[in-house]
Amino acid sequence: MKFSSFASSCLIALAVVSTGCDKSSSNTDAGGDSTAPVTESNLVGTIKVDGSSTVQPISNAIREGFIKEHPEVDIIVSGNGTGNGFKSFYDKGTDISDASRPIKGGEFEECKESGVEFVELPVAYDGLTIVVNPQNDWVKELTVDQLKTMFVGEEAVKNWSDVDPSWPEEAIQIYSPGTGSGTYDYFHEVLAKKSKKELRGDMNLNEDDNILVKGVSDNKFAIGFFGVAYYEENKDKLRAVPIVNPKDEVAYEPTTDNIASNKYAPFSRPLFIYVNTESLNRAEVQTFVEYFLVNTPEVSEKVGYVRLPEAVMAKAQTNLDAVKTGTHFVDESGESRSGALTDLFVDENLVK
């Protein structure tokens, strides 16, 4: 199946009776422009989206803009975590899987066994943000080694003073996304991939990032982590900790520039949506995904993330147009690839 951008625009036009064959007619302000002309659409159906709570703010904002043009389309967006989202995806319970990390080898195999083919589409950059309570006046920055000391294994330190003797002799209270979260997986991979250890088991886990925000904001001795959008939304009651880049040993905050340039390393990461190709045969899904790609640069910035380079978005559009199935992030032996998005998201890495 090949579906060009122009063809998609015409499909949208068929659905939007009043606007004719004009691609810009689907490119409205996803944040909600109340003055936008009311369109008449004959597009109907239900689209199910589940997965990363980090990506959920983007999908929700895209949904909000889309249903203003296509009010008879019901879009259900859930944020049960990347791992849980992929399970629903390969069980054919959803059309689109939001992901804060690339698909894993095991999940890719499950898709193949279930007969689920998909198009892999990066949509934004995120900076996994480590936050503390604003009353925490002792942590100025953290190194990756200090984070490993605090988070990895059952031998992880218990008190702040165990990390640095000049810090308070108080227990570290940790708030973390649940184990079904891609953010948890990414944090685990960065800190413990080489040692093959698990993260400590006594963290306060929750898939709802708002609960993690409350946990840290209510406790002077707490620390937590989640996507930068939740920090930006709650920066009046949290403080982001600058992280020391192991390459240049300079501490960087998760700002837009630092995430886009990968100075905020190793916690800058791409976000994705995965689209079932069988669902793409339905006009409402095809139109929604086209709308998603066109609008995600602006929408992602509005909700606190970082837009991808134009070349990456153009590549994503090309892959959608050609319905290129498979993943760029798992090799033929089933091992996950690691590296920069721009290096990995190329045709030669595509594995079906």
List the domains of the chain with CATH numbers: 45-126+268-349 (3.40.190.10), 128-261 (3.40.190.10)
DSSP string for 10-39: HHHHHHBTTT-S-GGGG---TTT-TTSPPP
Identify the pLDDT of residue 9. 43
Question: Residues 301-332: pLDDT tens digits?
Answer: 999 899 999 999 999 999 999 999 999 999 99
Identify the pLDDT of residue 39. 59
Residue 27 burial (10 A CB sphere; 0-12, 13-18, 19+): middle
Query: Largest Cα–Cα distance of the chain, in whole Å?
Result: 68
Contacts 24+ apart (CB under 8 A), 36-40: 36/68, 39/68, 39/69, 40/16
- Beta bridge partners, 51, equal 98
Cis peptide leading into residue 165 (ω within 30°): no
Query: Measuring CA to CA, which residue among 10, 76, 83, 20 is closest to residue 290?
Result: 10
Report residue 68: phi and psi, to 5°.
-70, -30
Q: How many CB atoms lie within 10 A of CB 112?
A: 12
Identify the pLDDT of residue 54. 92
In the three-class reduction of DSSP (H, G, I as helix; E, B as strand; rest coil), residue 237 is classed as coil
Identify the pLDDT of residue 340. 83
Strands 204-205 and 96-99: unpaired
pLDDT beneath 70: ranges in the chain: 1-39
Q: How far apart are CA 148 and CA 157, in angstroms?
A: 10
Identify the pLDDT of residue 195. 80
The CA-CA-CA angle for residues 165, 166, 172, to 5°, reads: 70
Identify the pLDDT of residue 41. 85
Q: How far apart are CA 192 and CA 113, in angstroms?
A: 30
Residues 6 or more apart from 77 whose CB is under 8 A from it?
Answer: 49, 50, 56, 59, 60, 63, 98
Residues 6 or more apart from 3 whose CB is under 8 A from it?
Answer: 280, 286, 320, 321, 323
Fill in the DSSP letter of residue 165: T
